[in-house]
Chain A
Amino acid sequence: MNDAIAAISTPFGEGAIAIVRLSGARAGAIADAVFRGRRALGEAEAGRRLFGRLVDGGETVDEVVVSIHRAPASYTGEDVVEINCHGGILVTRRILRLLVERGARLANPGEFTERAFLNGKMDLTQAEAVMDLITARTDLALRAAAEQLEGKLGEKIGRLREMLLGLLAHVEAYIDFPDEDIEPETGAALLDKLNEARAANDALLNTAGQGRILREGVRTVIYGAPNVGKSSLLNLLLGYERAIVSESPGTTRDTIEEVINFRGVPLRLVDTAGMRDSEDAVERAGIERTLKSVSGADLVLHLVDGSRPRCQTPPPGGEILVLNKSDLGEDPEWQGAEAVRISCRTGDGMERLGDEILRRLLGGKWNAGDSVVAINVRHQACLKAAAEACARARQGLLERLPPELIAIELRAALDAVGEVVGKADAEELLGKIFSTFCIGK
């Protein structure tokens, strides 16, 4: 498992500087085979940055800054070489190819983190957080990932777990110590505590949506009839000419995705082919894709030409209605319509559109000062199972089922939560019982 792996570890196609990483016992040797500097990497102090050139045969590929971190004091726990090169797809690709030619292997997705995990450099939730960090697209997402890394999520889940453990301790004490004069909570008091735990669980579960948005971006679809300015709006949001803008309707034949950092929120923008009846097979396929992306969207910007009368495009629902071309005046049919009015040509109204997007997405809940805890899909599945078990426990209490059945549900909830941060074992439960109740005849 110690073969050297290599990967470009900065986001694809972005930035002036890119980093190519190499990990494995032979990382130093492979890098030295292509690095020309004042000193060889093999002789360099760990962490020292060396300036030099990467060469392919006689030809210089790039000027680079290289550093080596030696096992086990590195991210992966193996020898790791970091090559800081000039950004750009061609250069980074060529460096990668060069390293592969010298004996490295292209890393699988997440393989650096997997090695770090396997070499005992991090635990499972930390490893997950790192994966999130790597794919984090904005500051908010980055902060959520960083806080999970610091154990903020663990802390919150730990508190939930403690609540469930307390509940179970009462039920178990009631079962196991019938002859003791202890007063474990039953009935209404237990139900109150259960509801507290459910609320805490739900609160965490509710961050799942935020978590996905932070990690993957808000799937945002710009939807509308041909030639109302969808691509222009997309370009405005992106800040540069990305989609092909054309005067002739039906030029955008495909859906185009771009992720932008929109005031801290990652928007995954999808431009779509215009909605209209078409005989053109390619265009029809584009329209089908459009409908599909609309149904899977978190946010739909329904764009219309406000200077012209309402047309037949069916509204997809739940969208923000955007009247474009305000610079051309508004058709009387749109009078009083609840819509954001913009002009893609002049840029007028873009601020208002931005406010509306944030209001819709976050419902005012997104306080940048709050600690950001956002769970991932695995956490979500666990907490969902816990929520279901808690709901069954509640039902059981209401139906006055015997305590051993309530205990089964509470234990299921505790186990599910434990999947995130580690299971509670019998000893922990007994510890809770003995510290809560004076047991012992």
Chain B
Amino acid sequence: MFTYPKTYDVIVVGAGHAGIEAAMAASRLGCETLMLTQNADTIGQMSCNPAVGGLAKGHIVREIDALGGFMGLNTDATAIQCRMLNSNKGASVRAPRSQCDKKAYQFRAKAACERQPHLDLKQGNALRIGEEQGRAAFVETDFGLRFRGAAIVITTGTFLRGLLHVGLQSRPGGRMGDAQSTLSGSLAELGFEIGRFKTGTPCRLNGRTIDFTRCEIQNGDEPPPGFSFMPESLESTPDDIFTLNTYRDGMFHVEQIPCWITHTNARTHAVIRANLDKSPLFSGRIEGVGPRYCPSIEDKVVKFAEKESHQLFLEPEGRHTGEFYVNGVSTSLPFEVQYAFIRSVQGLENAEIMRAGYAVEYDYCPPTQLYATLETKRVENLFFAGQINGTSGYEEAAAQGLVAGANAALKLLGRPSLILSRSEAYIGVLIDDLVTKGTAEPYRMFTSRAEYRLLLRQDNADLRLTPLGHGLGLVDPARAEKVASRQAALAELEIWAAGVRVEGVPLTQWLKRAETSFRGLDQGVRNRFADSVWDIFETDLKYAGYIRRQHDAVEKARLSEGKLLPASLDYSAISGLRFEARQKLSEIRPATFGQAGRISGITPADLALLGVWMGRNRNA
């Protein structure tokens, strides 16, 4: 065993969406950071569809960007189609979504990691995590190399004992074409509980063989909505061929490529139904639990038998490739069945499958084994982020990577942790859900998970989070200044608007109406402030009463969030607690009454009992 001469502050195992953010955050905070990956050519690989964002996920990416993260800018730089979803609904449920050039995205990510100060990128397959005195100490690779680090962040995605299924055939692998990782064996040795999940991906087609005239076109929005609050920082230098889009003349420019829509039909469903016996999902070969929100096409056909047709999106994988991702037919049926059902679809009659769809089963560690900092309860200075925590999605992974990487570094630096509350950020909702409730299926964010949805908008993520990120040292001065000036402009607009009348009523009242918008104001009036400032101002006005109610609810919740539960509390001694409640509370060890109340299976009666018990013991 050769011990590498340089000792790192933070070692990040994995270089996917979680790994990138973790390594970037730790190195940005000045920690000497190592990013260790099985394959240095697949950094930031989009294993599933080449798109970022959407409802709730788009919110998360805006938050990552507001905290100085990487994903928003990289998406904007490599987008080939941009849309704002739900533009016909209220501001809090609008979210950006972009198709990306898959290769540009990952090569640009690699280049960024290579250039990042304090970050070393190395290829190596992590085999073992070592601890010393209960503290994470080193990582060993399968070629006998040992890297020492003061903190370790594990972001291994679907690679832990990954098993790929196509029909009834299966073989080890983290992703089609990539080897699996056996690191979960080492984690089990350290005492971690391991679970098993499953996810899937559809086949990819050669665009040359698709009849787009028989499909419905779906164009991007113009002007293209982006993710980053700092689009002006996007500039292409002659030696950077991966930044496809730049900011010029005060605008973000994207040469957009359309997506296409077609549908499955009765014949498609008949083919699938006739071949269910060849599905590893239905034959019981797959043991892992898959996500309900992303069912395979065979699942959809069985569970929603009355539905005669399912919508499919044909999404280009990049500007310089003809490969199309068939969104909507995630499957693990054998190749010949995929071939038959794909060709039954309108527009795909002659389609050539380039890569078959497949399912992947992988190990994860139930996230209730973590603190809200994403540090494990079992081993100090060991952090988990991404799919290892039972989540799905690039955005969810990236958010955790940012939090885990930042907290690993902040802990070494002796600074306060990055813990976001449920009323501050979707990232806060995500992590609180994970560490408090765990998850019974691959966890995906939905806006309905956020009880303070009106406060957590994509348009105000920077106002919510950038000052906080700046305080922790995660955000560069330029970004912090931009937010400060936006806040100042907003304050100025509020004061100024109080004295302006439109159509005989005060502007603030006029804007409250459902049918009005600042876009309908005179240019002279409108141009006094940036559209992005008007947007927030108008939304706050239109939501006013509701926002006040949400703030009241936050205040009310703060009471129970402020009621601390001692870490040493012996729940088994509270004889009145139901067995299940005792077990759950002992396992999760909630920090506050508020968190205890969110544990699944903990009833109001349990809390009342806990409250009475605590009250009595305080008096005693």
B454 touches A408 (CB 8 A): yes
Report Cα–Cα, A252/B293, bound state, in Å: 74
Q: Given A175-B55, A440-B293, A402–B89 Cβ distance below 8 Å?
A: yes
Q: Could you say which residues of chain B place their CB within 8 Å of the CB of A430?
A: 292-293, 446, 448-449
B576 touches A117 (CB 8 A): yes
A175 touches B575 (CB 8 A): no
Report Cα–Cα, A281/B453, bound state, in Å: 64
B605 touches A176 (CB 8 A): no
Whose C-beta in chain B lies nearest to the C-beta of A433? B448
A440 touches B294 (CB 8 A): yes
| A123, A178, A400, A419: most-surrounded residue (chain B CB, <10 A) | A178
Q: Could you say which residues of chain A place their CB within 8 Å of the CB of B598?
A: 425
Which of B54, B292, B327, B608 meets A124, CB within 8 Å?
A: B608
Which of A408, A423, A427 meets B437, CB within 8 Å?
A: A427
Q: Could you say which residues of chain B place their CB within 8 Å of the CB of A120?
A: 575-578, 609
Q: Is A1 an interface residue (CB 8 A)?
A: yes
Q: Given A178-B55, A180-B311, A119–B576 Cβ distance below 8 Å?
A: yes
Q: Could you say which residues of chain A place their CB within 8 Å of the CB of B291?
A: 440
A441 touches B89 (CB 8 A): no
Q: Could you say which residues of chain A place their CB within 8 Å of the CB of B550?
A: 408
B85 touches A179 (CB 8 A): yes
Shortest Cβ distance from A44 into chain B, in angstroms? 25
A408 touches B313 (CB 8 A): no
Shortest Cβ distance from B51 into chain A, in angstroms? 10
Which of B54, B93, B300, B612 meets A175, CB within 8 Å?
A: B93
Stretch from B187-195, B302-310, B363-371, B465-473 contacting the other chain: B302-310
Whose C-beta in chain B lies nearest to the C-beta of A428? B600
B603 touches A441 (CB 8 A): no
A408 touches B546 (CB 8 A): yes
Q: Could you say which residues of chain B place their CB within 8 Å of the CB of A177?
A: 55
Report Cα–Cα, A172/B514, bound state, in Å: 21
Q: Given A119-B576, A120-B578, A438-B303, A408–B600 Cβ distance below 8 Å?
A: no
Report Cα–Cα, A181/B328, bound state, in Å: 11
Q: Is B295 an interface residue (CB 8 A)?
A: yes
Report Cα–Cα, A147/B609, bound state, in Å: 24
Q: Given A179-B85, A426-B448, A441-B328, A405–B303 Cβ distance below 8 Å?
A: no
Number of CB contacts from chain A to chain B under 8 A: 126
Shortest Cβ distance from A209 into chain B, in angstroms? 26
Report Cα–Cα, A400/B90, bound state, in Å: 11
B612 touches A118 (CB 8 A): yes
Chain A stretch 146-184: residues in CB contact (< 8 A) with chain B? 172, 175-181
**A-contact bits for B421-447, CB 8 A (1 contact / 0 none):** 000000000000100010010000011
Q: Is A429 an interface residue (CB 8 A)?
A: yes
Shortest Cβ distance from B145 into chain A, in angstroms? 41
Q: Is A434 an interface residue (CB 8 A)?
A: yes
Report Cα–Cα, A285/B598, bound state, in Å: 55
Q: Given A175-B447, A181-B310, A438-B307, A404–B93 Cβ distance below 8 Å?
A: yes
Interface size range on B against A: 35 or more
**B-contact bits for A410-431, CB 8 A (1 contact / 0 none):** 0100000001001101110111
Report Cα–Cα, A440/B307, bound state, in Å: 13
Q: Given A175-B89, A404-B93, A434-B292, A426–B454 Cβ distance below 8 Å?
A: no
**B-contact bits for A370-412, CB 8 A (1 contact / 0 none):** 0000000000000000000000000000011111110110010
Q: Is B6 an interface residue (CB 8 A)?
A: no
A440 touches B300 (CB 8 A): yes
Q: Could you say which residues of chain A place their CB within 8 Å of the CB of B454?
A: 404, 408
A441 touches B313 (CB 8 A): yes
Q: Is B604 an interface residue (CB 8 A)?
A: yes
Q: Could you say which residues of chain A place their CB within 8 Å of the CB of B311?
A: 180-181, 441
Main secondary structure, interface of B, reads: loop
Chain A stretch 104-160: residues in CB contact (< 8 A) with chain B? 114, 117-120, 123-124
Q: Is A439 an interface residue (CB 8 A)?
A: yes
A176 touches B55 (CB 8 A): yes
**A-contact bits for B571-586, CB 8 A (1 contact / 0 none):** 0000111100000000
Q: Is B92 an interface residue (CB 8 A)?
A: yes
A408 touches B576 (CB 8 A): no
Q: Is B219 an interface residue (CB 8 A)?
A: no
Q: Given A124-B604, A404-B90, A441-B327, A176–B448 Cβ distance below 8 Å?
A: yes
Q: Could you say which residues of chain B place their CB within 8 Å of the CB of A419?
A: 604
Report Cα–Cα, A177/B451, bound state, in Å: 18
Report Cα–Cα, A390/B451, bound state, in Å: 18
Q: Is B563 an interface residue (CB 8 A)?
A: no
| B294, B300, B448, B575: most-surrounded residue (chain A CB, <10 A) | B448
Q: Could you say which residues of chain A place their CB within 8 Å of the CB of B85?
A: 178-179
Shortest Cβ distance from B368 into chain A, in angstroms? 14
Q: Is B86 an interface residue (CB 8 A)?
A: yes
Shortest Cβ distance from B540 into chain A, in angstroms? 14
B292 touches A118 (CB 8 A): no
| A120, A403, A407, A439: most-surrounded residue (chain B CB, <10 A) | A120
Whose C-beta in chain A lies nearest to the C-beta of B579? A120
Which of B263, B330, B578, B604 meets A422, CB within 8 Å?
A: B604
B613 touches A118 (CB 8 A): yes
Report Cα–Cα, A429/B608, bound state, in Å: 24
Whose C-beta in chain A lies nearest to the C-beta of B603? A422
What are some 15 contacts across the A-B interface (CB < 8 A)? A1-B616, A77-B575, A77-B576, A119-B575, A120-B577, A123-B605, A124-B608, A176-B56, A178-B86, A181-B263, A181-B310, A181-B311, A402-B93, A407-B453, A427-B440
Given A408-B454, A438-B310, A440-B295, 19 other A-B contacts at CB below 8 A? A118-B576, A118-B613, A120-B609, A123-B603, A124-B603, A124-B604, A399-B514, A403-B93, A404-B93, A405-B543, A407-B448, A407-B453, A408-B453, A411-B451, A429-B448, A430-B449, A431-B292, A434-B292, A434-B293
Q: Residues on A close to B: CB < 8 A?
A: 1, 77, 114, 117-120, 123-124, 172, 175-181, 399-405, 407-408, 411, 419, 422-423, 425-427, 429-431, 433-434, 438-441
- Please provide the 6 A-B residue pairs with the shortest distance between their CB atoms, ordered closest to farther: A402-B90, A438-B304, A181-B311, A124-B605, A434-B292, A118-B576
